[in-house]
Structure 1
Amino acid sequence: MAERLSPEARAEALAELTGWTALQDRDAITRTFTFRNFQEAFAWMTRIALVAEKMDHHPEWMNVYKTVTVTLSTHDAGGLTALDVRLAKEMDRIFGV
């Protein structure tokens, strides 16, 4: 099982990620991705779904038209882990950050 990041490791990870912020009410990070249209948003989600499945680590996300809001936290660990950071970096890479 993955272990929760220390406060120092969490701060370091957030400094490396573009556009991600810590949630105030739980040990998780969030980001909103905006696309040109629904088709691009859904295509990105499909690509991420394949990555997440290979990692066996699945995001919480919501899609409304061209906007996808993602929250990452490892439920088994009860908070943010290296898996979340890795998935966030993959999301950014595929988004083109």
Structure 2
Amino acid sequence: MKKLSNQEIEKRIENLIDWDFYEDALHTDFEFDNFKDCMSAMNRIAFECEALNHHPEWTNVYNTLEIRLTTHDADGVTELDFKLAEAINKIVEVEE
């Protein structure tokens, strides 16, 4: 998988709601009503990660979920990171 240039990433991220690009990775965070809803979202995301064979760096504290996406084999952001970010937004149903 080819690492995308910063210019390519900046252009693509404009269409990705609630995601930022810094430290060679895509970043977002979500706040849910409670712990159960957060864990439910994490479990749904996990199935998509397995299907894509691409796994996030993420942390959960009570009702918040922070996600960092990067492709370690490419030393940066690739098309696969954007594909997973888009899937995560659909799972969590991010609104504009």
What TM-score comes out, normalization by structure 2 length?
A: 0.94
Match of 1:19 in 2: 18
Match of 1:73 in 2: 70
SS at match of 2:73: coil
Let me know the Cα RMSD of the aligned residues. 0.7
Q: CA deviation at 1:76?
A: 0.4
Aligned mates of 2:26, 2:91 — CA distance in 1: 18
Aligned mates of 2:59, 2:29 — CA distance in 1: 9
Alignment length (residue pairs): 94
Aligned mates of 2:47, 2:8 — CA distance in 1: 27
Note the residue ranges of structure 2 that are not aligned, 5 or more in a row. Answer: none
What TM-score comes out, normalization by structure 1 length?
A: 0.93
Match of 2:29 in 1: 32
Aligned mates of 1:39, 1:13 — CA distance in 2: 32
Q: Kindly, what percent of the aligned residue pairs are identical?
A: 39
Match of 1:7 in 2: 6
1:89 aligns with 2:71: no
- Return structure 1 stretches of 4+ with deviation > 4 angstroms: none
